[in-house]
């Protein structure tokens, strides 16, 4: 008898808790919570979508940049094939060719001039030292 008395209040509690009007909202919020978590943190999340969109925009900019560079290079190729002035200019600059009567000027920076002077001074100093040693021996 005591068992039946204890069982009936538990059954009433279970019936109150697990009624359809209590379980359905709980399941709805559970599914909603799972959807939000998967939407935010899965492989197909908003964060991944935004990073891929940024990467896509960057790649499209790179493509445009490379297309414009490709057009410039194609124009240069066409000019090098057809324009005699540019062919002559490239030959002079890259290959060091020149016409009869051309004069070549070499311009040195200040640093290069100082290096040359230092080399000369050291060489002269060595000669002076050797000369003095030789002179002192006599």
Query: Rounded mean pLDDT of 59-64?
Result: 97
pLDDT at 1: 45
Domain that holds residue 114: 106-138
Residue at 136 is within a domain: yes
Residue at 131 is within a domain: yes
pLDDT at 137: 62
In this model, does residue 16 exceed pLDDT 90? no
Residue at 76 is within a domain: no
Q: How many domains does the chain have?
A: 1
Residue at 120 is within a domain: yes
In this model, does residue 3 exceed pLDDT 60? no
CA distance readout (Å), 106 to 91, 103, 109, 113, 115: 18, 10, 10, 12, 16
In this model, does residue 87 exceed pLDDT 80? yes
Of the listed ranges 2-11, 69-78, 105-114, the least confidently predicted one is 2-11
CA distance readout (Å), 90 to 19, 72, 107: 90, 17, 20
In this model, does residue 103 exceed pLDDT 60? yes
Task: Indicate the pTM of the whole model.
Answer: 0.43
The end-to-end CA distance of the chain, in Å, is 141
The span from the CA of 110 to the CA of 112, in Å, is: 5
Instruction: Give CB contacts under 8 A, 24+ apart, made by 120-124.
Output: none
């Amino acid at each position: 008898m005591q068992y039946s008395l204890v069982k009936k209040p538990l059954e009433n509690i279970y019936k109150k808790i697990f009624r359809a009007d209590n379980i359905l909202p709980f399941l709805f919020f559970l599914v909603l919570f799972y959807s939000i978590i998967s939407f935010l943190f899965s492989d197909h999340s908003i964060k991944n979508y935004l990073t891929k969109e940024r990467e896509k925009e960057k790649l499209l900019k790179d493509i445009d940049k490379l297309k414009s560079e490709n057009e410039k290079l194609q124009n240069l190729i066409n000019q090098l094939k057809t324009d005699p002035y540019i062919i002559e200019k490239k030959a002079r600059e890259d290959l060091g060719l020149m016409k009869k009567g051309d004069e070549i000027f070499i311009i040195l920076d200040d640093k290069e001039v100082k290096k040359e002077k230092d080399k000369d001074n050291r060489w002269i100093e060595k000669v002076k030292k050797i000369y003095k040693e030789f002179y002192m021996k006599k």
